[in-house]
Chain A
């Protein structure tokens, strides 16, 4: 997993509520057995029309090349559990999502793939969306260690909260399975007791 330190780049607004994982990664891109090649899939039906880039979609507009951040509407990532949505966003170069609420499974998937999700109050998200909407003022710098979003346009710095464990994982790019397996003995001991109490589960 790519560690997250400081990332600078353009931000784009995608403010519709309830952007679901079917939209983020349409089903035609779910037929793989690996994580590769999903950048084409990301927002495919919005990004392309008749096989050509759709000029109306924000990521195809001038000033959004190399977009690193999305400022998104409420409940982003709802629906299907498909992690392909997150793999696709990462492969598209997106490193952080800023919004008011994220859907649960999607948010967990982001954490597991080094994609930072930042939750801020609606007014702050609206303010950031305002800058993201202007391709001449949409450069942000996100510093995870400092928990700040720096706006190039105004030199303003916005603080955000993130839980400590999540932050640690993202900064270190840890392998969560490896971390948990350090507690393998404890899991085994728990399991033995669990089996004694509920043998019918086994």
Chain B
């Protein structure tokens, strides 16, 4: 009898070119990569220096997303000379190595993790590795996906493989109907809070459970994207009919008879019923409330009805110090109700929450309401296609009417590598994934939450419970 296997193991097995030691080190074949302008240049320089070619240029896509402006009317000039040089070198590399490039004015441009699924570039059963930690996003499509550094980008480009150590597996099962107004962002933030910022270090996480399967593919992407904040080195979810429907007809999706055989094979992609995971985590969706971070690590989070914690209650000394330091940086007093913290900025965007459904959800909260007077609110669609669609659906108008700036696509204030930078002391309700010190600008303070929660905070001028907006109260 065959040993039962997890989906992760099946996909990794199917991509193993050779075994390199007896402890799980393998040469792993990688089907796809997506390159951005800031983590890839040194990889191409490495290839140039060694006189190496790209193994399969068709398996890669290059997208400008991190350094570009997101101003409503933008040109192909970057906001600063460094960014400009990166984008120019990026284009040079695309041309010289024969890789398709979506540059800044391309209708298909956007954040790489929004663009790749949009193009049908990622399919169930693939292994995808790319030079950005949030590559885990593609787990939602049934691919094993993970981020790599620049040296490994170079290795991938030259060999179509990576020297890879097999991970331990963790299954996160979310079950039951979620309470009204709870998004997949709240679910993944709850997971991170429970297991900690290193809770999934060394693991590939498989998401399971009826709650997530009842949600859309886009909502699942949010979960897979953000699990990297718990240290997960890969994410995967068995594909279902929704995934298949999501991929059908996309530019790079197979067609005709090949589509039929592809779908047939995708139906087989799941963990065996009795497969053993190294760790199991079960979450009852009914226990999840809207989540907000209060600190500078994504696991320093609380529910909206909670208060800023008292570090003294933290038994672990190192954690206590970290909590104190976080509160100092964040300028927060223990015991302050989360739902009272005033904000100066509201940001909706990032690969975690900038897809059309995220925008629809936030727009619904904003409908007929206005952004509070002292709040600057910005919405940055995940891709130029999302932007266009939102304009067609009239969602952009709802944002504009409420007082949000309606921007072009890019990473923008998620990491503030372009000109969207907060000032010291600014406090931002943000639909992004990292609340690190200085992430959105030196000295700036970030509170992570769902896009709907950001919209609600923008309206009230302080962090607030979106559920009262949902019930029409």
Scoring A23, A35, A103 by chain B CB atoms within 10 A of each residue's CB, the highest score goes to A103
B347 within 8 A of A: no
B95 nearest CB across to chain A (Å): 15
Q: How far is the CA of A33 from the CA of B80 in the complex (A)?
A: 14
Q: For the A-B complex with A31-B85, A78-B231 known, give 8 more contacts whose Cβ atoms are closer than 8 Å.
A: A79-B229, A82-B149, A83-B149, A86-B149, A180-B159, A198-B265, A200-B259, A202-B58
> Contact flags (1/0) for B368-380 with A, using CB distance below 8 Å?
0000000000000
B159 nearest CB across to chain A (Å): 5
A40 nearest CB across to chain B (Å): 14
In the complex, the 6 A-B pairs of residues with the closest C-beta atoms, listed nearest first: A31-B82, A112-B151, A75-B198, A200-B254, A109-B149, A83-B149
Query: Which of A90-98, A133-141, A184-192 lines the interface with chain B?
Result: A184-192
A193 nearest CB across to chain B (Å): 10
* B159 contact from A45, A113, A184, Cβ within 8 A: A184
B88 nearest CB across to chain A (Å): 9
Q: On chain A, which size bracket covers the interface?
A: 35 or more
Cβ contact within 8 Å between B325 and A16: yes
Residues of B within 8 A of A178 (CB): 50
> Contact flags (1/0) for B132-161 with A, using CB distance below 8 Å?
110000000000001111111011001111
**Chain B: CB-nearest residue to A35:** B42
A18 within 8 A of B: yes
Scoring A32, A86, A200 by chain B CB atoms within 10 A of each residue's CB, the highest score goes to A200
Cβ contact within 8 Å between B133 and A74: no
Q: How far is the CA of A92 from the CA of B453 in the complex (A)?
A: 42
Cβ contact within 8 Å between B27 and A105: no
B405 nearest CB across to chain A (Å): 21
Cβ contact within 8 Å between A79 and B17: no
Residues of B within 8 A of A200 (CB): 123, 253-254, 258-259, 261-262
> Contact flags (1/0) for B423-449 with A, using CB distance below 8 Å?
000000000001011110010000000
* A80 contact from B14, B155, B415, Cβ within 8 A: B415
Cβ contact within 8 Å between A186 and B18: yes
Scoring B21, B148, B416 by chain A CB atoms within 10 A of each residue's CB, the highest score goes to B148
A38 nearest CB across to chain B (Å): 11
Within 8 A of A (CB), among B295-341: 297, 299, 318-319, 321-322, 325
B52 nearest CB across to chain A (Å): 7
Q: Total contacts A to B, CB within 8 angstroms?
A: 188
Scoring A18, A20, A202 by chain B CB atoms within 10 A of each residue's CB, the highest score goes to A18
Cβ contact within 8 Å between B198 and A33: no
Q: How far is the CA of A105 from the CA of B147 in the complex (A)?
A: 7
A181 within 8 A of B: yes
A180 nearest CB across to chain B (Å): 5
Q: How far is the CA of A159 from the CA of B206 in the complex (A)?
A: 35
- A27-B417 contact, Cβ under 8 Å, with A177-B158, A190-B29, A201-B123: yes
* B318 contact from A45, A74, A102, A106, Cβ within 8 A: A74
B42 nearest CB across to chain A (Å): 5
Q: How far is the CA of A61 from the CA of B122 in the complex (A)?
A: 50
Cβ contact within 8 Å between A201 and B31: yes
Cβ contact within 8 Å between A17 and B163: no
Residues of B within 8 A of A78 (CB): 197-198, 231
* A103 contact from B52, B201, B439, Cβ within 8 A: B201
A117 within 8 A of B: no
Cβ contact within 8 Å between A104 and B50: no
Residues of A within 8 A of B198 (CB): 17-18, 74-75, 78, 101, 103
19 of the cross-chain contacts (CB-CB < 8 Å) are A20-B434, A22-B415, A22-B437, A33-B86, A33-B89, A45-B438, A75-B231, A78-B231, A81-B133, A81-B147, A86-B149, A105-B147, A112-B151, A177-B159, A178-B50, A181-B159, A183-B18, A200-B253, A200-B262
B111 nearest CB across to chain A (Å): 14
Cβ contact within 8 Å between A83 and B42: yes
- A18-B202 contact, Cβ under 8 Å, with A79-B436, A187-B159: no
Cβ contact within 8 Å between A165 and B21: yes
Within 8 A of A (CB), among B262-298: 262, 265, 297
Cβ contact within 8 Å between B159 and A31: no
A118 within 8 A of B: no
A15 within 8 A of B: yes
Q: How far is the CA of A124 from the CA of B143 in the complex (A)?
A: 39
Cβ contact within 8 Å between B45 and A34: yes
Cβ contact within 8 Å between B80 and A23: no
Cβ contact within 8 Å between A45 and B38: no
**Chain B: CB-nearest residue to A26:** B438
Residues of A within 8 A of B82 (CB): 31-32
Residues of A within 8 A of B297 (CB): 17-18, 20
Cβ contact within 8 Å between B319 and A17: yes
Cβ contact within 8 Å between A22 and B148: no
Q: How far is the CA of A109 from the CA of B43 in the complex (A)?
A: 13
B39 within 8 A of A: yes
* A81 contact from B17, B123, B149, B434, Cβ within 8 A: B149
B278 nearest CB across to chain A (Å): 15
Within 8 A of B (CB), among A7-27: 15-18, 20, 22-23, 26-27
- A177-B123 contact, Cβ under 8 Å, with A27-B416, A104-B233: no
A123 within 8 A of B: no
B73 within 8 A of A: no
- A187-B27 contact, Cβ under 8 Å, with A16-B322, A33-B41: yes
B67 within 8 A of A: yes
Residues of B within 8 A of A187 (CB): 17, 27, 29, 55, 159-161
Cβ contact within 8 Å between A20 and B436: yes
A10 nearest CB across to chain B (Å): 22
Q: How far is the CA of A201 from the CA of B261 in the complex (A)?
A: 12
